[in-house]
Amino acid sequence: MNATASVPSAQRCILTVDDSPSIREMISFTIESAGYRVVVAVDGRDALAKARVTTFDLVLTDQNMPNMDGLTLVRELRTLPRYARTPILLVTTEASDDMKAKGRAATATGWIVKPFDPQVLLDVIARVLQ
């Protein structure tokens, strides 16, 4: 039994944000396969617009995107009362200590470096949604 089995995943809705269609598809497929509902956004601006009208249980965002990057999205989401305590994970190729420190300063919940194992992603999701 994996860690996601204990999460009532069908009741959870996750916003995934990435400007790469192939990454969006891979992340969405992985998350939906575990029973989560998924909404996709193509960049931070698109994600913020969707987050203003829908409450998500978790946000997964890339860092490097046009229009609004991931750290800016985290800061903007944190200004919305419904996202003050929502887990927000950066899923990015950025792995430097400096970028991770900026993520913590922006109050991101965690950091997953691409490429990643899909099961690791699901395990992290299960952990932050508990």
Stretch 108-117: mean pLDDT:
93
This prediction has a pTM of: 0.90
CATH topology of domain 9-129: Rossmann fold (3.40.50)
Distance CA 109, CA 128 (A): 8
Quick one: how many helices (H) and strands (E) in the chain? 5, 5
SS3 of 106, please? coil
Identify any residues that bridge with 112 across adjacent strands, giving them in sequence order: 91
Question: Is the model's pLDDT at 100 over the cut of 60?
Answer: yes
The whole-number pLDDT of residue 10 equals 57
Q: pLDDT tens across 8-62, in order? A: 455 899 999 999 999 999 999 999 999 999 999 999 999 999 999 999 999 999 9
Tokens 């993520």 correspond to what residue? 103
Distance CA 113, CA 5 (A): 24
Identify any residues that bridge with 15 across adjacent strands, giving them in sequence order: 39, 59
Asked whether the beta carbons of 48 and 73 are under 8 A apart, the reply is yes
Q: Which two three-digit tokens encode residue 98?
A: 């400096």
| Beta strand pairing call for 58-61 and 37-41 | unpaired
Q: Which two three-digit tokens encode residue 80?
A: 């919305």
